[in-house]
Amino acid sequence: MTKVALITGGTSGLGAAVCKRLAADGYQVVANYLPGLEDQAHVWQKEFEQLGHTCSLAPADVSSDLSCQSMAKTLIEQFGRVDVLVNNAGITRDASLKKMSSDQWQAVINTNLSSLFNVCKPLLESMQQHRFGRIVNISSVNAQRGQFGQTNYSAAKAGVHGFTKALAQETARHGITVNTVSPGFINTSMVDAIPENLRNEIISSIPVGRVGEPDDIARAVRFLIDDEASYITGSEISVNGGIFMH
């Protein structure tokens, strides 16, 4: 039976790379995107299909509990189950805490952390019934080491791994594994937005001498969702080129 994989924030950046990797390996891929971005999502879907892959689209605001419940209901009605969930959707709203607004704080916490509750909860019952599930939560190196101007982002992404460890204990007996992948600086629009001089400083501090590629993250996700990774749960894999070791 073809496994169904839902990737939140799946139409760009790391999420798009995960979609491509899983589709190439035979998964039925479902890419979530934010409602209101239908045009961009459908353009991406056509480009994806031109590569020889198939992908379904699932609009939902991951910061909204009701929106995620609706998405989960639709997917289970359409496919019968969701076997793999990759919680990848995330945003930044950077500012020092002194200058950070409440809206900047809440937007990042809701999208990057509360989304895990919103998306996982309505899918768990189905995974438990089928005695199988793979959940991979995307965190960040900045959760591990902190980052100036990112108290909101660092706090949310640190919470991601706390969520992972607790949920892994609750679901292990049901054949469900829950793990975290923590990327370092990856070649995405988020890193491209960093001023060039600062970006060059960052690259010079990375032991392997380069930023990562989205495929580096996709390979880590693919490893964790494999049937043969069933004894790995509650773990965190750092994919950061050695910029932070612990």
> Which two three-digit tokens encode residue 245?
């070791």
Exactly one of 27, 33, 153, 231 is catalytic; name it. Answer: 153
Task: Judge whether 153 counts as a catalytic residue.
Answer: yes
Q: Distance between alpha carbon 173 and the CA centroid of its chain, in Å?
A: 24
Q: What residues are annotated to the active site? A: 153
